[in-house]
Chain A
Amino acid sequence: MISMVRFLLPLMLMAVPGWVYAAEMRVAVTTSFHNSGLSDVLLPQIKQDLDIDARLIVVGTGQALKLGRAGDVDAILVHSKKAEELFVEEGYGTHRREIMYNDFVIIGPSSDSAKVAAVTSVNAAFSAISASKPIFVSRGDDSGTHRKELALWKLAGLDSNAFEPNWYRAVGSGMGAALNTASGMNAYIMSDRASWLKFKNKGDLKLLFSGDPVLFNQYAYLPVNPAKHPHVHNEMAKALENWLVGKKAQTMIGAYKISDETLFIPNATPN
């Protein structure tokens, strides 16, 4: 019966576009957040507490910011601080609110020809990779993860633009597709922890390096500015923000685990 309603709903939508979304809002979120499965836990609770159907558009940070600029979503949840600050500066977002962070990990073949498992800093890890030139898969899609990876090469004093494509492979796709490529080529790759833990096609890959604070990855929530796009559901976006930084949500985020591992550390400043 419910499915029938869902089947008929689009029909009604065709007749009267626009009005059905009264209690719905759209949030562009990054692949890494969605892959973690945390949204599956949070969304039902949001529905229960706020009576809001938050519809997630799962894309890379680059596309999420683009959707926000165009006014096609009501808020975005991404992780690329510089781009986010620019987004607010240009007036597309009202403000930037930090919610939580997770961390990136370096994955590679279990044989670990670059000896990444033995080093103690991410700088050393990236240097080791660039020295022995095993196949390394880069997202190459302007996502938050991709931007982070580029920043880390730079931090290690390396110019990723000069890497030869025979070992440095920019695949231009999402985290999952990139992990599949890495698995197929038995290559090194940088991934967020959640995507890695949830990934089911690990093959010969394993987690080789993690824990350097440089790898921490801050997620921020940015409501789209109603001054730029009057049609956005700013009230709902605000309500969702207040809920996300509230005690209940922060506790839920901190308690979320995959394979007994905590994925996200909540760090929002309360209201």
Chain B
Amino acid sequence: MIDVWEGILQAFRLVYSLDRDLFEIVLLSLYVTLSAVIVASLIGLPLGAWLAVNRFRFRRATIALLNALMGLPPVVVGLIVYILFSRSGPFGVFGLLFTPTAMIIAQVIIITPLIASIAHQAIRDLWAEYHDLLISLTTSKKQRMKTLIWDARRSLLTASLAGFGRAIGEVGAIMIVGGNIDHVTRVLTTAIALETGKGDFALALGLGFILIGLAIAVNMAIHVLSKTERGGQW
């Protein structure tokens, strides 16, 4: 019986030996997830702001849909992206299947609704507070969105980090569209799935602890970086 302790030891052994393959897998995990978070934030944050400051006919329905999409099953997203980017699919000519780019695309689809939804809530609250001031100053809609996004930046950072959290631990979609190819598309989660399949629970668990450590490290680093900016009370 393998116990958790063995996994912790394995994690330390892996980190201590500065295993090159591990280094590569960790970097690819970071590259794929951070790229997805950046792209999803570039879409999701303005979308959240736009939904907060605009009144249109299907606004409520759009927000409800966005909230529902937060629970998109990754495997389904993976399958759809696979079908779209397969050589027989509509975007097959780009040759993106089984590349990190395809993994990024799948993750962007998974986390954009999450980021947009959290961003919308944060910006909606701030907009309620800023409404009279920004109307009084005859700002344009674009200026309002810009102002709200900047001033809600800490809440929006949380939104992006929530997206990061969902993406870094995701395995179903990237397994299908990435193919878990050694040295090309193997990331921490797919490596964990592979080692579990081999029955090597200690190694799988070790990789798991490294994944958790990585998630904590990224969150802390971003926290520290955003704090150094200014010491506000919020």
Decide if B150 is an interface residue (CB 8 Å cutoff): no
Do B31 and A72 have beta carbons less than 8 Å apart?
no
Please tell me which one of the listed residues A3, A199, A231 contacts residue B95 in the complex, with CB atoms under 8 A apart.
A231
Do B88 and A200 have beta carbons less than 8 Å apart?
no
Do B101 and A13 have beta carbons less than 8 Å apart?
yes
Do A7 and B98 have beta carbons less than 8 Å apart?
no
Please tell me which one of the listed residues B32, B89, B198 contacts residue A176 in the complex, with CB atoms under 8 A apart.
B198
Chain A interface helix/strand/loop/mixed: helix
- Chain A contacts with B in 51-69, Cβ cutoff 8 A: 55-58, 69
Decide if B27 is an interface residue (CB 8 Å cutoff): yes
User: When A21-B95, A72-B86 are in contact, do A176 and B197 touch as well, CB less than 8 Å?
Assistant: yes
Do B100 and A179 have beta carbons less than 8 Å apart?
no
- Chain A contacts with B in 207-238, Cβ cutoff 8 A: 229, 231
- Chain B contacts with A in 66-91, Cβ cutoff 8 A: 86-89
Please indicate the chain B residues that have their CB under 8 angstroms from the CB of A177 in the complex. Answer: 196-197
Do B199 and A183 have beta carbons less than 8 Å apart?
yes
A199 to B194, CA, bound (A): 12
Do A6 and B183 have beta carbons less than 8 Å apart?
yes
Decide if A185 is an interface residue (CB 8 Å cutoff): no
Decide if A157 is an interface residue (CB 8 Å cutoff): no
Decide if B151 is an interface residue (CB 8 Å cutoff): no
Question: B1, B95, B196: which has the most chain A beta carbons within 10 Å?
Answer: B95
**Measured between C-beta atoms, what is the minimum distance from A204 to chain B in Å?**
11
Please tell me which one of the listed residues A11, A14, A55 contacts residue B184 in the complex, with CB atoms under 8 A apart.
A55
Question: A2, A57, A72, A203: which has the most chain B beta carbons within 10 Å?
Answer: A72
User: When A72-B97, A201-B201 are in contact, do A7 and B28 touch as well, CB less than 8 Å?
Assistant: yes
Interface extent on B, as a size class? 35 or more
A14 to B94, CA, bound (A): 10
User: When A3-B24, A10-B101, A13-B101 are in contact, do A202 and B31 touch as well, CB less than 8 Å?
Assistant: no
Do A55 and B98 have beta carbons less than 8 Å apart?
yes
User: When A6-B183, A231-B95 are in contact, do A176 and B86 touch as well, CB less than 8 Å?
Assistant: no
Chain B interface helix/strand/loop/mixed: loop
**Measured between C-beta atoms, what is the minimum distance from A216 to chain B in Å?**
24
Do A10 and B198 have beta carbons less than 8 Å apart?
no
User: When A3-B24, A175-B197, A201-B201 are in contact, do A70 and B88 touch as well, CB less than 8 Å?
Assistant: yes
Do A10 and B197 have beta carbons less than 8 Å apart?
no
Do A200 and B199 have beta carbons less than 8 Å apart?
yes
**Measured between C-beta atoms, what is the minimum distance from B85 to chain A in Å?**
9
- Chain B contacts with A in 98-120, Cβ cutoff 8 A: 98-101, 104
Binary interface encoding of chain B residues 201-229 relative to chain A, with 1 for a CB under 8 A from any of its CBs, else 0: 10000000000000000000000000000
Please tell me which one of the listed residues A10, A21, A175, A180 contacts residue B31 in the complex, with CB atoms under 8 A apart.
A10
Please indicate the chain B residues that have their CB under 8 angstroms from the CB of A3 in the complex. Answer: 20, 23-24, 27
Do A176 and B87 have beta carbons less than 8 Å apart?
no
Decide if A35 is an interface residue (CB 8 Å cutoff): yes
Do A180 and B199 have beta carbons less than 8 Å apart?
yes
Please indicate the chain A residues that have their CB under 8 angstroms from the CB of B197 in the complex. Answer: 31, 35, 174-177, 180
Complex: chain A residue closest to B82, CB-CB: A72
A37 to B60, CA, bound (A): 54
Do A17 and B94 have beta carbons less than 8 Å apart?
yes
Please indicate the chain B residues that have their CB under 8 angstroms from the CB of A58 in the complex. Answer: 179-180, 194
User: When A3-B24, A6-B24, A176-B196 are in contact, do A200 and B201 touch as well, CB less than 8 Å?
Assistant: yes
- New contact pairs (7) apart from A7-B27, A71-B92, CB-CB < 8 Å: A3-B20, A7-B28, A35-B197, A57-B98, A71-B87, A72-B88, A198-B198
13 interchain pairs (CB within 8 A)?
A3-B23, A7-B28, A10-B32, A14-B101, A18-B94, A55-B179, A55-B182, A56-B182, A71-B87, A175-B197, A176-B199, A180-B197, A200-B200
A interface residues with partner B (beta carbon < 8 Å): 2-3, 6-7, 10-11, 13-14, 17-18, 21, 26, 31, 35, 55-58, 69-72, 174-177, 179-180, 183, 198-203, 229, 231
